[in-house]
Amino acid sequence: MAKQNGLAWATMSVDDSAGTPQAIINDFTNIAWTTPRAVQDVTGLNKSAIERILNLADFSFTGNGVFNSAASQSHDVFKTVPSTSVNRTVTIVTSGTAKTLACETLFTDYQLTRAASGEFTWSVPGVLADGTVPTWS
């Protein structure tokens, strides 16, 4: 199987503040992540076009979901974001061929929204914490 959709993932977990992975895949409604590389302009005066080299790798993550106050679910995992300064492993395992990306992440906010329609949702942005290059396995 080469091409695939994003349906029916088996694993999406985030560590709680104690470092215990919590499988909160059912609370997520959508996620986005990036693995950009910084670039350095090294263009010499003898060039007619820009010359660049790759520098540091990075990782950023945004998760959105539905509020769930049950034990070990999303609210339990993210409620300590404002009061703790701990790395949390985000583990993403795609469906089908089961490719895994796990990154140590610092979450920078736990945003809660109660919409006029009654929806109660959250959003959590995070960034790479430990300088380890994001690598798919």
pLDDT in tens, 32-63: 999 999 999 999 999 999 999 999 999 999 99
Beta partners for 40? Answer: 53
Q: Map 47-71 to HEC letters.
A: CCCCCEEEEEECCEEEEEEECCCCC
Percent of the chain with pLDDT over 90: 88
pLDDT at 98: 77
CATH 1.20.120 at 11-128, yes or no: no
pLDDT at 9: 82
Question: Is the model's pTM score more than 0.85?
Answer: yes
pLDDT in tens, 53-96: 999 999 999 999 999 999 999 999 999 999 999 999 999 998 76
Confidence of residue 6 (pLDDT cuts 50, 70, 90): confident
Q: Where are the beta strands (DSSP E) in the chain?
A: 11-15, 21-23, 28-34, 37-41, 52-57, 60-66, 88-93, 100-107, 111-114, 120-128
pLDDT at 8: 76
Residues 9, 81: Cα–Cα separation, whole Å: 25
Q: Is the pLDDT of residue 1 over 60?
A: no
pLDDT at 96: 67
Q: Please give the mean pLDDT across all residues of the chain.
A: 95
pLDDT at 27: 97
The CA-based diameter of the chain, rounded to the nearest angstrom, is 63
- Kindly list the distances between the CA atom of residue 8 and the CA atoms of 4, 47, 63, 97, 101, in Å, as whole numbers in the listed order: 11, 50, 17, 12, 17
